[in-house]
Amino acid sequence: METKPKPGDDLAAFEQALTQTGEGNYVLRLYLTGHTSRSLKAVQAVKKLCEEHLAGRYELEIVDLCQQPERAQAAQIIAAPTLVKELPPPLRRLIGDLTDPDRVLVALNLKPRKT
């Protein structure tokens, strides 16, 4: 089961996850549906984010559901684009074109949630 982080524990949880998973500990998958402007925006945003905040410790896969529709069910995708943070736990789904960097960083536990 996923452990729900308490507001103050974010950093601790993050660091714990970091030690547990070792190298390449961020596993991200971006699910897109074809070459739409939203898709492109999302890809750019994710790449930028990874390079700026997760350099050297992330794994990113970009999945085009138009090419691999069977993966939508397996990954429980509803909306597009969706960025799934599989590791570190907890699992998070970020839906949208990721044009709000702050929200994305918070959702990925890279920035403390504002209180």
Partner 1 sequence: MNETDQRTHPALPKSPTGIEGLDQLTGGGLPQGRPTLLCGSAGCGKTLIAMEFLVRGATQFGEPGVFMAFEERTEELALNFISLGHDLNVLVAQKKLSLDFVRVERSEIEEAGEYDLEGLFIRLGHSIDRIGAKRVVLDTIETLFSGLTNTAILRAELRRLFRWLKDKGVTAIITGERGETSLTRYGLEEYVADCVIMLDHRVSENMSTRRLRIVKYRGSSHGTSEYPFLIDEGGISLLPITSLGLKHVASSERVSSGLPGLDAMMGGPGYYRGSSVLVSGTAGSGKTSLSAHFAAAAAARGERCLWFAFEESASQITRNMRSIGLDLEQAIQQGCLRFHAERPTSGLEMHLVTIHKQVQAFQPRIVIIDPITNFTALGSDAEVTAMLTRLIDFFKQQQITALFTSLTSGGRAEENTEAGVSSLMDVWLLLRDIESGAERNRVLHLLKSRGMAHSNQVREFLLTGHGVELRDVYLGPSGALLTGSARVGLEAQEEAQSLVREQESSGRSRALERKRAAVEAQIAAIRAEFGVEEAELKRGIAQGDARAAMLAGDRVEMGRQRQDDAPAPAATEKLN
Residues near partner 1 (CB under 8 A):
4, 31, 33, 38, 41-42, 65-66, 69-70, 72-73, 76-82, 90-100, 103-104, 106-107
Based on CB atoms, which residue is closest to partner 1, 1 or 19? 1
- Three-state DSSP class for residue 82: strand
Based on CB atoms, which residue is closest to partner 1, 33 or 88? 33
Residue 85 CB neighbours (<10 A)? 20
CB of 48 to partner 1, least distance (A): 14
8 A C-beta contact, residue 9 and residue 90: no
- Three-state DSSP class for residue 10: helix
CB of 108 to partner 1, least distance (A): 9
CB of 93 to partner 1, least distance (A): 5
Of the candidates 46, 29, 33, which has an alpha carbon nearest to the alpha carbon of residue 85? 29
Based on CB atoms, which residue is closest to partner 1, 31 or 58? 31
| 82 bridge partner residues | 31, 95
